[in-house]
Each structure stands twice: as structure tokens, then as C-alpha cells.
Structure 1
Amino acid sequence: MWKHIAANALTFLIVAMFLFGGVIVWGTNEYSAEGPLDQAICLQVTPGSNMRIVSESLAEQDAISSPSIFRMGVDYSGKASALKAGSFLVPEGASMSEIVDIVTQGGQSTCGTEIVYRVGVTRVVAQVRELDPATGRFVELASFEPSEVEETPAEYTETREANDTQYRVVISEGVTSWQIVQALNSLEFMDGSVSEIPAEGMLAPNSYQVRPGDSVAELLTDMEAAQARILATAWAERADGLPLASPEEALILASIIEKEASTSDERFDVASVFVNRLNQGMRLQTDPTVIYGVTQGQGVLGRGLRQSELRAENPWNTYVISGLPATPIANPGADTIRAALNPADTDFIFFVAKTLNPRDGHNFAVTLDEHNANVAIYRELEAARAASEGN
């Protein structure tokens, strides 16, 4: 009898092990299989949340088939403690495994409602926008210039009061360090105020995600570190034979190119003009350096240059001095720094705007006669506009 009982017990154990193994295989496949979500969603993970709360939220939104399998998969992968707070875009059909990666690997939110402060060369714009998960595109809810309005839009106020609002500061290429500091100091949700202006050119234009209470000084430090990395990499990958003695000189040249290039495509040609002029011992003769000598980077000149300013002796006026100006004249972007250190192979030493619209780019020339012809075309366009405005 005991042999019979033992045999039955062994059989039961074998069957149980087989069934258990089948459950594990099924659960593993379910964890990695395409999920039931038929349209992308924005998953909110609040600070202090955990994987149980996240799994229940996902189940309520029909993004996963089983909260239990989701949590077991998280535990098995060892990622339970890596959950990040934020708003995360979960694409349609995402598997449980992919969702876990989304909420544990990302350092920044990828969807939701955000307030974006765009620091441009001529103005600062506050924008309220929300990502539409279905299309993957942001929908603008409000846009305004903080310095130009007496009362902020209701959409901005409501978004500022929401707990899950994200904040982003976008620095445009060609903005000066003074402009950046002034803009950051004016942001009501950031902590502290900075009086010392970082070195011109050493703040990387980019998009920076920030949080209420973040320090202005720390954000500037991050920008400086980013620019230092960009410059070091570009310098290490520079072309041979450049008339630049140091990364600092490369940054100065890049800042001039940033101010002169009208389109991203012509950065390398503009770079070639200035490199060719430096190699030939010609003065750079570029207006943005004169403007910087007048404003010291503190705002926009807002008018044409005077003859007295073109003749003024200062460390930035490249109509008067030879070689590069004393410092950068703005903060150039990464692509422009790379262009300065890898210019196009041309013989160009002149350029002038093609049309009255700066976005149309420039006409480049090798000889003075070619350049004068291009200038004559531009002057005709100016005269035509003046005549039409006079009528």
C-alpha cells in the first residue's frame, strides 16, 4: 500500500511540476508579448508611487492583461526599485516588459502637459502645450511673451497650479550669456538669482527639463558642462590646418558663424569664408562683432550700425582689428561648433544676403568683382522695398 501511495505522490509531484513549469512559460510569454493597448496613452507616475499602483493604473487603461504578471515580471527583472516619477508615453501594443523599461530607464518625462520657456535672440516666449498621445504631437494651449502681458492666460495659471506639470527651458543658438541669465532669473518657479554672468559662449543652447525649485546657478553649471563636452569633442575631431590655436578660438569663430549663417545648410560655407580670410591675413569684417562691441551682449541693438561704430576701436570690431575678436559674441550650438572646426572646402572670401528675407541665405563669392555684383543685386532689392513703402 505504501508503495502505491508513494507512486501516486510521485506522479502528482511530476504533474504539479509540469503544470507549474507551464504556468511560468505562459507568464513569461505573456509578459513579453504584445499588449492590448490599441492607442498610445500618457501614463502618470506620481512621486512616491510603486509598481502595484502603476500596474493597477495600467490595467484600468487596458494597457496590460494582468497586473499580477506585470508585478511578477518586475520582481524577476529586479527593476521594482528603479521606478521613476513622471509622465511617460506608452505606445500602442507595448508589452509589459517594454512598459517596465519605459518607467524605469527614462530620466525625463516624455508626455503630458508642460510649460516651455523659449529664450530667443530677440524675445522670451512662454508656451503651454500638451502632448496628444494618439498623434505623438504637442498641442499648443497658450503662448505669450511674459514681459509684454499684464495678465497671464488662464491656461498658463491652471497649468502652473497642477501638480503634474512639467517645465522646460529651451535656449536658442546665438543667445548671449547675459540674455540667458536675465531670462532664468525672471522665471518665478526657479530658485535663486544669479548676478555673475558666465563666460560668453560657454552655455550650451539646448532644451533643458527643469523642476519647480531648481537652482538657476545649477542649471547654468549644467549648461557650461554640456558646452565644455561639446567643444572638447569637436576640437578632437577638427580638420587639419585650421588657423585656430585653441578650443577657445574655435568657440569665438563658431559664435560669429552662428550670428552670420542664415540657414543650417550654409554654416559650413560661412565657416569656410572666415577660415579663408584668417589664412590670407584678411580682416573678418563682420557686423555682428561690431554690434557686440556696442551692446556687450546685453540685449538687441535694434537699429542699424553707425559709421562711427564701424570705425570704433574695441576688442570686438573686426573692421578695425585683425584676426578673431577677444571673446565669443554669443553662445553657438553644437552643429555650428562642428562647422567651425570642419569648414567646407571652398575659395569663398565674401558673402552677402540673397534677399531681404534672412532665411533665404547668402550669395558667396571668390572675387571682389563677383561680390560687388551680388551686393548690387541686394541694393536693388532694398531700393525696390523703399520705393514700395514710400507709395
Structure 2
Amino acid sequence: MVFVIGLLGAGGAWFGWRLYTGPGPLAADTAIVIPRGAGVQGIAQKLAEGGVVRHSVEVLAASRLRGDGARLKAGEYLFPAGTSVKGALDLIISGKVIVHRVTVPEGLTSWQIVERLRGEARLAGDVTAIPAEGTLLPETYQFLRDDARTDLLARMSVDMEKALDRLWAERDPDLPLKSKQEAVILASIVEKETGVAAERPRVAGVFVNRLRIGMRLQSDPTIIYVLSDGRGQIDRDLTRADWKLESPYNTYVLAGLPPGPIANPGLLSLQAVLKPEAHRYIYFVADGTGGHAFAETLEEHNRNVVKWRRVRDGD
């Protein structure tokens, strides 16, 4: 009888160990959110509902025998197919939650950035105030599920301040820029004028040259910013009437920089403005390849404009 009882006990222990360490029923890698304050009971139920374990009792029993229920951490976890009960508990204790990413492209307005974050369903909370233009650094940001949108915006703002402080300290001498804010304003214009990274220092040099001689910047994106009410885009081409728009952002009418940024510039545009290419160009126009043709004189510029119109019209 003693032998039989011992044998049954050993068999039960072996069976329990197999349940604890053997492959679970999960057929494919699955993400499951363990909410804060769920407790062992709630976690066990979540794992059973998600198909990680066959029954919540398996998790409850294992956690009680291990004595580490207090170490289970909330978060979103990716459970591999066939995860055992032991593997599931070890993963939740490790705190190796899923890290998500959101990319904020250079040149978006603050309104556009907020809209992008509002469209990210894995973030939480609303944004009640649009951040000031030019205060957010475009970049790829990591976040955890249910992080607050406002917290992510705050990180973007801190990153912009740090980047701007560093680049301003390394700027070229004798730039016609009186402050970091003016650098951001000009960088936002450069950002919207060209999508070719290698061109940005040259485009920045054009605008720096214009500022030095008191020539108007004549930048279409500054007008588009006003016409779009800060949303960055309009669904039509600019007209001659638009170039006469009464606005402090109209760089065709008013000399110098507009009163504020027209977008959130990236690092390359900030670098370009603070270390512009040294040249004598004061004109540029699209060349039909995605880049621009640059000129020192109006006569040369007019020839480039004619070439661009031929390309545009397919002549």
C-alpha cells in the first residue's frame, strides 16, 4: 500500500511537472495585456481567455507553489506559441513588455503630429491643447501600450530643446539669426522647401544670403501655412492673389522671418540652418528631378524657371 501510494504520488508530481513545464495550447504568438491591479486571479483568467493555458487553475496553482505572485507585473506581453505555464509566469515576472514605435516625419505641423498620435490606438488619453509650432522634434519614438499621448508629446518637446541647445552652441559665427527661435523658424522653412536631405544646407544658404542683404524670403510654404490654418497642406496650387495675402507669414510681402515656425523641423534642417553651405546663390527653383536648380543672378534664375516649366508641362 505504501508503495502504491508513493507511486501515485510520484505519478501525480510527474504529471503536474509536465503541466507546468510542457508546451501549452497556444497555436501562434499572441499579445495579451495584463492590466494593472489584476492580481493572480485576474492574470490567470486573462491567460486562460487568451489560450495561453488550458485552465486558470494551472496558473493559480503554479503561482501559489512558486510563491511569487506579488512579482507579476502589468503590461502587454507577447507569448510565443506553445508557451508553458512556467514560461508564461517567468515572462510576466520579467517585465519584458512589448515596445511599440511611432514615427513622426520631419516637417509636420504640431496639429498634424497630434492627429497622428490620436490615430495611434495603443496610446491613451486625449490632447486638449496643440503644442506650439516648432517645439516638437520629429523622430521615431518608443512607447508602451496605454502610455499617455501628452507624455509622448512632452518627450518630443524635451528632445527638441536638447537638440536645439546642442546645435545652437555649435553654430557658425555671424549668422543673421538672433535666437534659437529664429533658427527654428528658418529651419521649418528649409524643411518644407526641400525633401532632399543633401540639399538642405544649400537651401539654407540661399535664405541666409537673402536675410543678409535684406531680400524677402519669398517662400510658398509660409503662405500655405496660413491658408491651411496651421494644418500644413492645401488642395490647390497657389495663385497670384495668394502671394498678396495680408499676413505676417507672407514672406513675399514682408522682409525677414515670419513670426513663428511653420512646421516642426528635423535635425538635418536645424543643422543646415546653423551650419549653412557657403555660396552666393540667392535663387532656386525645382529642376524636375525632385531637387532644385540654384542661381546667383535673376537672369540665370529665369532661365532655370523656363527649364522647369518645360519639364512640368511635358514639353
TM-score of the pair, normalised by structure 2: 0.69
Shift of 1:296: 2.5
Match among 329, 338, 356 for residue 271 of structure 2: 338
Aligned to 1:293, the other structure's residue is in SS state helix
Question: How many positions carry a matched residue from both structures?
Answer: 231
Contact 1:177 1:197 in 2 (8 A): yes
Shift of 1:174: 0.4
Task: Supply the AA of the counterpart residue of 1:381.
Answer: V
Shift of 1:195: 2.0
- Per the alignment, residue 116 of structure 2 pairs with 183
- Per the alignment, residue 373 of structure 1 pairs with 303
- Per the alignment, residue 68 of structure 1 pairs with none
Instruction: Show the 5 A alignment for 1:220-369.
Output: 220-355=153-288, 357=289, 359=290, 361-369=291-299
Matched residues in 2 for 1:86 and 1:337: separation? 38
The superposition leaves residues 325-371 of structure 1 with CA deviations (integer Å, 9 ceiling, x where unpaired) of 1110000001110110110010010001111x4x3x11111011110
Shift of 1:176: 0.5
Shift of 1:299: 4.8
Change over 3 Å in CA distance of 1:293–1:182 after alignment to 2: same
Shift of 1:165: 4.5
Relative contact order, higher structure (CA 8 A, sep 6+): 2
Aligned to 2:284, the other structure's residue is in SS state strand
Shift of 1:187: 2.2
Aligned to 1:279, the other structure's residue is in SS state helix
Matched residues in 2 for 1:302 and 1:240: separation? 40
Task: Supply the AA of the counterpart residue of 1:274.
Answer: F
Matched residues in 2 for 1:351 and 1:298: separation? 25
Instruction: Show the 5 A alignment for 1:54-133.
Output: none
Change over 3 Å in CA distance of 1:299–1:340 after alignment to 2: closer
Task: Supply the AA of the counterpart residue of 1:364.
Answer: F
- Per the alignment, residue 384 of structure 1 pairs with 314
Contact 2:200 2:269 in 1 (8 A): yes
Shift of 1:320: 0.8
Q: Where do 4+ consecutive residues of structure 1 move more than 6 Å?
A: none
Percent of matched pairs sharing the same residue: 46
Change over 3 Å in CA distance of 1:254–1:217 after alignment to 2: same
The superposition leaves residues 168-192 of structure 1 with CA deviations (integer Å, 9 ceiling, x where unpaired) of 1100000110001112123222111
Matched residues in 2 for 1:176 and 1:277: separation? 25
Match among 151, 154, 161 for residue 218 of structure 1: 151
The superposition leaves residues 111-160 of structure 1 with CA deviations (integer Å, 9 ceiling, x where unpaired) of xxxxxxxxxxxxxxxxxxxxxxxxxxxxxxxxxxxxxxxxxxxxxxxxxx
Matched residues in 1 for 2:134 and 2:268: separation? 14
Matched residues in 1 for 2:221 and 2:232: separation? 13
Shift of 1:260: 0.8
Matched residues in 2 for 1:271 and 1:365: separation? 14
Aligned to 2:160, the other structure's residue is in SS state helix
Shift of 1:208: 0.5
Task: Supply the AA of the counterpart residue of 2:183.
Answer: A
Contact 1:273 1:349 in 2 (8 A): yes
Aligned to 2:285, the other structure's residue is in SS state strand
Unaligned ranges ≥5, structure 2: 1-30, 35-75, 79-94
Aligned to 1:307, the other structure's residue is in SS state coil
Matched residues in 2 for 1:338 and 1:299: separation? 22
